[in-house]
Amino acid sequence: MSRSVYNYTIDVLKKVSFNPVLFKKELSKASSRLLPYEYNELIIWVKNYAQHNPHLVGALM
């Protein structure tokens, strides 16, 4: 079940990626919803995703 939350979180992040503020807010929510290893995987995904969307780089800090 938890993996579906991980996939849902990625879907939400893709949908709000037009706005760095919303992206950061959803990323913050994910930290409380996901298991620690899933959150670490998500951060890796976000770093790769931000390479193609440079306006999101600030959301990681």
9-45 pLDDT, tens digit each = 999 999 999 999 999 999 999 999 999 999 999 999 9
Predicted local distance difference test score (pLDDT) of residue 22: 93
Is pLDDT of 60 > 90?
Answer: no
What residue spans define the domains of the chain?
2-56
Q: What angle do helix axes 2-15 and 20-33 make, rounded to 10 degrees?
A: 170
pTM: predicted TM-score of the whole model, two decimal places: 0.87
DSSP per position, 1-61: -HHHHHHHHHHHHHHTTT-HHHHHHHHHHHHHHS-HHHHHHHHHHHHHHHHH-GGGGGGG-
Task: Give mean pLDDT, residues 1-5.
Answer: 73
Predicted local distance difference test score (pLDDT) of residue 61: 62
